[in-house]
Amino acid sequence: MKLGVNIDHIATLRQARGTVYPDPLDAAILCARAGAHGITAHLREDRRHIQDDDIFRLKELQPLPLNLEMANVESIVEIALSVQPAEVCLVPEKRQELTTEGGLNVIGHFEHLKETVTCLNEAGIEVSMFIDPDIETIVACKDLGAPTIELHTGTYCDAEPNEAAVFMEKLIKAADYAHDLGLKVNAGHGINMENLGGILCLPHLDTLNIGHSIICRSVFLGIEGAVKEMLDGMQDYTG
């Protein structure tokens, strides 16, 4: 299983003071050195952390495949087409939210999403749909022609211990179903060293995309140490 490191919150630190440091590009280079398999960055409409220029530099100047998280809005799709990241992960986005709060409403926005997925597919960019573990939504992703889904693990990761098993069961069913349909299955949101053990029970995972907890750990361990710690925790995954 691969690790994609989301470096948004390096940019959050930079934007907090309007400085030029810390640079997400430097972080990405160190993540690569520590053994990460990919870099994820979310270009939000409000540009609260990652800026347009970061995305272009992350594509050109660091060695790992770039996964660009973005909302399905025309101006950002245009940027994606110009940057040509290895992968685009389509996410829902609300301006006031602290972080991506739920999965995409694929059924409700099917036609609009289909246009974007088709256009990105034609440009040779792998499209991943960030979704809640819901079977009808998975079917809709398949119908859209998206090759990959990313299961939103946030509800499981934030659940009280007595509720976690119910959410885990939904995630397992969703991963099995998507795999049987031939979709690639990634997972992300809210994953940290404490809940990683539960996440490793999910079958068929290709990649975990992890941001906040790794950047937080890097305050104490350095970013290479934090990435290595997560990779060590992931190494017993059997699929």
Rule CB under 6 A: say whether 150 interacts with ligand PXP. yes
Stretch that binds ligand PXP, among 46-54, 71-79, 162-170, 188-196 (CB under 6 A): 188-196
Task: Decide if 163 is catalytic.
Answer: no
Please identify which residue in 24, 38, 92, 188 interacts with ligand PXP, judged by CB under 6 A: 188
152 belongs to the catalytic site: no
* Four-CA torsion 114, 204, 211, 24, nearest 10 degrees: -70
Residue 173 lies near ligand PXP (rule: CB under 6 A): no
28 vs 224: CA distance, rounded Å: 10
Report the alpha-carbon distance of residue 156 to residue 189 in Å, rounded.
9
Q: Give the Å distances, CA to CA, from 74 to 79, 100, 116, 129, 233.
A: 9, 19, 9, 17, 39
Which entry of 9, 42, 49, 152 is annotated as an active-site residue? 42
β-strand partners of 38 = 4
From the candidates 9, 179, 189, 204, give the one annotated as an active-site residue. Answer: 189
Q: Work out the number of other CB atoms within 10 angstroms of the CB of residue 121.
A: 15
- How far is Cα 78 from Cα 184, in angstroms, rounded to an integer? 25
**Of the residues 27, 38, 58, 100, which one makes contact with ligand PXP according to CB under 6 A:** 100
Q: Is 146 among the residues that bind ligand PXP (CB under 6 A)?
A: no
**Residue with token string 């809005």:** 73
CB neighbourhood size of 236 (10 A): 9
Give φ, ψ of 210 to 5 degrees.
Answer: -130, 130
The reply on whether position 130 binds ligand PXP by CB under 6 A is yes
Task: Establish if 209 lies at the interface with ligand PXP (CB under 6 A).
Answer: yes
Q: Is 189 a catalytic residue?
A: yes
- Interaction between residue 24 and ligand PXP (CB under 6 A): no
Distance CA 211, CA 214 (A): 6
Cβ closest to ligand PXP, residue 173 vs residue 212 = 212
Q: Return the structure tokens found at 91.
A: 């996410």
Segment interacting with ligand PXP, rule: CB under 6 A, options 12-20, 73-81, 132-140, 185-193: 185-193
CB contact at 8 A, 51 and 41: no
Closest approach, Cβ 118 to ligand PXP, in A, equals: 21
Q: What is the per-residue binding string for ligand PXP in 49-88, x denoting contact by CB under 6 A?
A: --------------------x-------------------
Residue 99 near ligand PXP by CB under 6 A: yes
Eight-state DSSP code of residue 193: T
Is residue 194 classed as helix, strand or coil in its secondary structure? coil
Residue 156 makes contact with ligand PXP by CB under 6 A:
no
Would you tell me which residues interact with ligand PXP (CB under 6 A)?
Answer: 6, 8, 42, 69, 89, 91, 99-100, 130, 150, 188-191, 209-213
Residues serving a catalytic function are: 42, 69, 189
